[in-house]
Homo-oligomer: A and B are copies of this chain.
Amino acid sequence: MEQNKDIFQTLQPLQILDKTYERPPINKNFLRLYGHHLCPYVEKARLALLAKNLAYQDVQVNLERRAKWHYLLNEGFLPILETPQGNTILESRIIMDYAEEAFPKEGVKLYSSDPEEKAYQQMIMKFFDDVASAMFEVVLSHGTSKAGAQKLHKVFSRLEALLKQSSTQFFNSQDKYTMVDIFGLPHVSRIFYLKDSALNFLYEEEKIEEKYPKLRQWVYHMRAQPEICQEKGGVIIIKAFQLWTEELITLPKGTKPPLRIPMKL
């Protein structure tokens, strides 16, 4: 990279544009998160760092031109969290749990102290895995996959019911969002970001707003949380996702647009 060496020790964002880019030297001052703005799993990890009020250096990786060191480190997957000691933590869920456990007193408390309640939180988190797979099925088929839509409505109905039972605006009747909410937000929100996107017709046809008013309210409420809306990345994600859908509908069904950087925004 042609950048000044000092940049690797700061909070200034980096970009790895090409497979010829070497792995940046370790940031000895701050955590570093390797990610991509379009990836919901990266977003989860970032939300955990934001919830815990942890400063981190953001590195955006061109997933179309991954470097060899990236394959060796994590088979080319994201997110990757790098500690100031140079250790790497892989997998979004493991990064999220690490943030909570390594920094128990910082920011928002993400898990209940009661083990049974925590087990219940984790049981709800499992539901969101179904949103993730249904979302890709529905969106990549441009809304023509009936099975995908059915799966999406099944899990959305379950989540809507859980929010109705909650005595607060968050899952699990908590006064403040928890791991459940930040774990689920990236997947659920993408369906609501379809509004006014190139796939708006899908949003209308499936009657997303009409059927899931609580979930919609939750998405907006979550995005308005101080730690989360501080994130400049939030606006970038919505914009990037909507541009992604514009590219998506020009491609054959089942095909994903490339995950390149820099993104046109």
Contacts and interface: CB of A to CB of B under 8 A. Distances in A.
A120 B85 CA distance: 14
Chain A's interface size range is: 10 to 19
A210 B153 CA distance: 50
A68 B120 CA distance: 22
Given A97-B122, A122-B97, A116 B91 contact: no
A7 interface: no
Interface string A63-86: 000000000000000000001000
Contact of A98 (B89, B95, B119): B119
A123 to B, nearest CB: 6
A126 interface: yes
A98 to B, nearest CB: 4
A4 interface: no
Contacts of A119: 89, 94-95, 97-98
Contacts of A101: 115, 118
A230 to B, nearest CB: 24
A90 interface: yes
B102 A116 contact: yes
A126 B89 contact: no
A126 B91 contact: yes
A3 interface: no
A250 to B, nearest CB: 34
A91 B120 CA distance: 11
A115 B98 contact: yes
A18 to B, nearest CB: 28
B102 A115 contact: yes
B94 A116 contact: no
Interface string A115-136: 1101110110010000000000
Contacts of A118: 97-98, 101
Interface string A96-122: 011001100000000000011011101
Given A89-B123, A97-B119, 17 more contacts: A87-B116, A89-B116, A89-B119, A90-B123, A91-B122, A91-B126, A94-B119, A94-B122, A95-B119, A97-B118, A97-B122, A98-B118, A98-B119, A101-B115, A101-B118, A102-B115, A102-B116
